[in-house]
Amino acid sequence: MKFFVDTADLSEIKELAATGLLDGVTTNPSLVAKSGHSNFIELIREITAIVEGPVSAEVASTDYATMMGEAQTLAKIADNIAVKVPLTPAGLKVCKNLSSNGTMVNVTLCFSAAQAILAAKAGATFVSPFVGRLDDIGQSGMDLIADICAIYGAYSSFDTQVLVASVRSPMHVVDAARMGADVATIPPSVIRQLFKHPLTDKGLAQFVEDWKKTGQTIPV
Ligand code: E4P
- Atom of ligand 1 lying closest to residue 133 CA: 10
132 lines ligand 1 (CB under 6 A): yes
Where do the domains of the chain lie, and which CATH numbers do they carry?
A: 2-189 (3.20.20.70)
Residues of the chain with pLDDT under 70: none
What does pTM read for this prediction? 0.96
Please, which residues have CB within 8 angstroms of residue 15's CB and are 6 or more apart in sequence? 188
Residue identifier of the C-alpha nearest atom 7 of ligand 1: 166
| pLDDT of 54 | 98
Mutate to test the pocket of ligand 1, among 25, 28, 105 (most ligand atoms within 8 A of CB): 28
Tens-digit pLDDT profile for residues 75-119:
999 999 999 999 999 999 999 999 999 999 999 999 999 999 999
Query: How many beta carbons lie within 10 A of that of residue 82, not counting itself?
Result: 26
CA distance 72 to 69: 5
Please provide the DSSP assignment of the chain as one string: -EEEEE---HHHHHHHHTTT---EEE--HHHHHHHT-S-HHHHHHHHHHH-SS-EEEE----SHHHHHHHHHHHHTT-TTEEEEEESSHHHHHHHHHHHHTT-EEEEEEE-SHHHHHHHHHTT-SEEEEBHHHHHHTTS-HHHHHHHHHHHHHT-TT---EEEEBS--SHHHHHHHHHTT-SEEEE-HHHHHHHH--HHHHHHHHHHHHHHHHHT-----
| pLDDT of 155 | 97
Check if the beta carbon of residue 158 is closer than 8 Å to that of residue 128: no
| pLDDT of 40 | 98
| pLDDT of 186 | 98
| pLDDT of 200 | 98
Mutate to test the pocket of ligand 1, among 168, 185, 186, 190 (most ligand atoms within 8 A of CB): 185
Check if the beta carbon of residue 115 is closer than 8 Å to that of residue 92: no
